Chain A
Amino acid sequence: MHTIARTDVEDFLFAEAELLDEWRLPEWLELFTDDAIYYVPATDLAVDASPDNNLFYVADDRFRLSERVKRLMKRTAHAEFPHSRTRHLVSNVRIRKHIGDDIEVSSAFITYRTKDGVTDTYFGSNRYRLVPGNGTFRIKEKRCLLDSEGLRAQGRVSIIL
């Protein structure tokens, strides 16, 4: 197996962002392993807090993540119907460490969401645990750490960050 370069990881994260911005959520979901988790913790918690004993905004296991995708693709997901337009910007990508075959990656993000004449900005860092294989990666963990003080400005996190 060749050494994993940062550019390999960047290509993968940029492709992930594109799937989200194009609302190809079922394809996006396929990037995740069967035991994957997707977290958005409350912003007054430690970065490694557990959702088992702390209140988060989002703490999905793989099943609930698939249900989130299913929900967002329906007309009855009122918060996202008609779909908002989003732009996920990914930057400051770094490979933090190797855990066995997996790698831990951090990135910075800015995501814009616009709907009904209102544009919201989400910003913060993402912590990924990625599983390399077949020349690409699968996501085992995605933890979005918002830098904002709560969601006072945005009101909700109805899209996937």
Chain B
Amino acid sequence: MNAFQRMNTALMIDEGKKIFKVSRRAFVDPDILEAERAQIFDKCWLYLGHSSELAKPGDFVTRSVGGRNILFARDGKGNLKAMLNTCPHRGAQVCREKHGSAKSFQCFYHGWVFGLDGTLRSQPGESSYAEDFKERSTSNMQQVARFESYRDLNFLCFDKGVESLSDYLGPVKEYLDVICDQAEMGMIIVGGTQEYSMRANWKLLTENSIDGYHALTTHATYLDYLKSATGALAQVAFEGSARDLGKGHAVLEYKAPWGRPVAQWIPSWGEEGKRELTRLYDGLVKRFGKERADRIATFNRNLFIFPNLVINDIMAVTVRTYYPAAPDFMNISAWALAPKEETEWARKYRLFNFLEFLGPGGFATPDDVEALEQCQRGFRNSAEAQWNDISKGMGKDNPSYDDELQMRAFWSNWNEHIFKVPA
């Protein structure tokens, strides 16, 4: 046990004095990353992918999740399978393509062939093996310990004894419903993956993804852009609240002046856009009543699902997940989520909106990358300058979207996982 673990917490909290501080060693210490791998990424539900990515039997993607190589496939019966992408024979990765469609998977090393569900079908020299070799479950590609879904979002967990995904998500489900209910025929992942990285600790992106406080300064040029683009702003002020959803999950729900393809109109979308958004909004009212329709259409949501999934329902919808490669380096994957039945007009403007703000080539994300990398540089001074402050809004009955309640929710849960005691 190192000195940090003996400390038994990474947090300094005094509710009365409104103090909430996080030790900067949590962002730089290799022992902490090791503990995170064992106690968080090996124990929590992790996002694998969306059902729409595997539209038909035989479709597959390979993906790195929680340090494992996963083969995610739709088998011949249409069932989704999450397998460890390693040959039961001698360990080689069986599938070496990032995505595609297959009838079977063959390990090229010795030629073993597996069905779409990972069952061993044949291997060269079968007569040299035990008669019941193919009936043994150990001859098949191994399934992940747990695999469950909610609203076409598929999760896995490497801990067999974990609670159900439904219990794990708890009140998060209601927010996923609000996001997914904008579609009548279900949501789909649009083609194209944004894969990027930051030279920063992964938890910095958790904080940043649910940080309503940094927009005016970090994203000054994005806001300048909205102001200079004719008709890019609705007459709506930033206003909203933050909620701790338990188990480290949190959400911001707020109004903002940008256009939303479901469904907040901005003048630059013209009459065609107005007709389209009115039709979408009327459809929502018909299905859900005015109150819920207003919530779906006009409120933005930055939803954080512990430990590393962000679903932001803002000027477009993004699904983003990220993993540490080292204390000061993370890999990020991001996708665009959209209603399946969306018209060409709405899809086009949704994606145009997405790139305005989001992603490593957008007008905002590169500045987030810069901010997080500068934090990581600042942490080189962590032996002397030891603490981060996330006390904004402490003691308020209704914390604002630009307070830091949601970060305190994350860190309290993180601390419990790492040190096994409530903060």
Bind each other: yes
User: B-contacting residues of A (Cβ < 8 Å)?
Assistant: 40-45, 49, 51-59, 63-64, 67-68, 70-71, 74, 76-80, 116, 118, 149-158
B393 within 8 A of A: no
In Å, the complex CA distance between A149 and B99 comes to 13
**In the complex, chain B residues 162-193 whose Cβ is within 8 Å of any chain A Cβ:** 190-193
Residue of B98, B335, B336, B360 touching A157 (CB-CB under 8 A): B360
Instruction: Given A76-B220, A78-B371, answer yes or no on A152-B190 (Cβ-Cβ < 8 Å).
Output: no
Contact A44–B98 (Cβ < 8 Å): yes
Top 7 A-B residue pairs of the complex, sorted by shortest distance between their CB atoms: A150-B195, A55-B192, A57-B361, A79-B366, A42-B192, A158-B366, A58-B361
In Å, the complex CA distance between A16 and B113 comes to 52
Residue of A59, A64, A80 touching B351 (CB-CB under 8 A): A59
Instruction: Given A44-B99, A64-B356, answer yes or no on A55-B367 (Cβ-Cβ < 8 Å).
Output: no
Identify whether the interface residues of A are mostly helix, strand, loop, or mixed.
Answer: loop
Per-position 1/0 for B359-378, Cβ under 8 A of A: 11111011101110100010
In the bound complex, residues from chain B placing their C-beta under 8 Å from that of A64 are 356
In the bound complex, residues from chain B placing their C-beta under 8 Å from that of A118 are 199
In Å, the complex CA distance between A42 and B196 comes to 11
The segment from B28-36, B223-231, B287-295, B382-390 that touches chain A is B223-231
In the bound complex, residues from chain B placing their C-beta under 8 Å from that of A74 are 221, 224
In Å, the complex CA distance between A157 and B191 comes to 20
Residue of B193, B352, B369 touching A156 (CB-CB under 8 A): B369
**In the complex, chain B residues 347-362 whose Cβ is within 8 Å of any chain A Cβ:** 347-348, 351-352, 354-356, 359-362
**In the complex, chain B residues 204-262 whose Cβ is within 8 Å of any chain A Cβ:** 218, 220-221, 224-225, 228-229
25 CB-based A-B contacts, threshold 8 Å? A49-B191, A51-B355, A52-B344, A54-B190, A54-B191, A55-B193, A55-B194, A56-B355, A58-B361, A64-B356, A67-B363, A76-B221, A78-B218, A149-B195, A150-B193, A150-B195, A151-B195, A151-B197, A152-B195, A152-B197, A155-B197, A156-B360, A156-B365, A156-B369, A158-B366
Minimal beta-carbon separation of B368 from chain A (angstroms)? 9
In Å, the complex CA distance between A64 and B367 comes to 17
In Å, the complex CA distance between A63 and B268 comes to 13
Contact A152–B370 (Cβ < 8 Å): no
B10 within 8 A of A: no
Residue of B196, B199, B344 touching A151 (CB-CB under 8 A): B196
Minimal beta-carbon separation of A44 from chain B (angstroms)? 5
In the bound complex, residues from chain A placing their C-beta under 8 Å from that of B99 are 44
Per-position 1/0 for B317-361, Cβ under 8 A of A: 000000000000001000110000000100110011011100111
Minimal beta-carbon separation of A149 from chain B (angstroms)? 7
Closest to B374 in A: A78
Give the most central of B195, B351, B361, B370: most A CB within 10 Å. Answer: B361
In Å, the complex CA distance between A44 and B224 comes to 32
Minimal beta-carbon separation of A158 from chain B (angstroms)? 4
Known pairs A52-B348, A151-B196; list 15 more (Cβ under 8 Å).
A42-B194, A44-B98, A54-B190, A57-B194, A58-B361, A59-B352, A70-B225, A74-B224, A151-B360, A152-B331, A155-B198, A155-B369, A157-B360, A158-B361, A158-B366
Size of chain B's interface in residues, with CB distance under 8 A?
A: 43
In the bound complex, residues from chain A placing their C-beta under 8 Å from that of B362 are 58
In Å, the complex CA distance between A49 and B190 comes to 12
In the bound complex, residues from chain B placing their C-beta under 8 Å from that of A158 are 360-361, 366, 369-370
Contact B196–A155 (Cβ < 8 Å): yes
Instruction: Given A44-B99, A52-B347, answer yes or no on A58-B228 (Cβ-Cβ < 8 Å).
Output: no
Minimal beta-carbon separation of A113 from chain B (angstroms)? 12
The total of Cβ contacts below 8 Å across the A-B interface reads 128
Give the most central of A51, A52, A156: most B CB within 10 Å. Answer: A156
Instruction: Given A51-B355, A63-B229, A158-B366, answer yes or no on A77-B196 (Cβ-Cβ < 8 Å).
Output: no
Contact A155–B360 (Cβ < 8 Å): yes
Minimal beta-carbon separation of A92 from chain B (angstroms)? 24
In Å, the complex CA distance between A156 and B330 comes to 13
In the bound complex, residues from chain B placing their C-beta under 8 Å from that of A150 are 193-196
Contact B191–A55 (Cβ < 8 Å): yes
Minimal beta-carbon separation of A117 from chain B (angstroms)? 10
Closest to B318 in A: A55
In the bound complex, residues from chain B placing their C-beta under 8 Å from that of A43 are 195
In the bound complex, residues from chain B placing their C-beta under 8 Å from that of A51 are 351-352, 355
In the bound complex, residues from chain A placing their C-beta under 8 Å from that of B344 are 52-53
In Å, the complex CA distance between A46 and B285 comes to 39
Closest to A77 in B: B221
In the bound complex, residues from chain A placing their C-beta under 8 Å from that of B360 are 57, 151, 155-158
Closest to B371 in A: A78
Closest to A115 in B: B370
Contact A59–B355 (Cβ < 8 Å): yes
Closest to B217 in A: A76
In Å, the complex CA distance between A58 and B361 comes to 5
Residue of B192, B363, B369 touching A56 (CB-CB under 8 A): B192
Instruction: Given A52-B347, A53-B347, answer yes or no on A79-B369 (Cβ-Cβ < 8 Å).
Output: yes
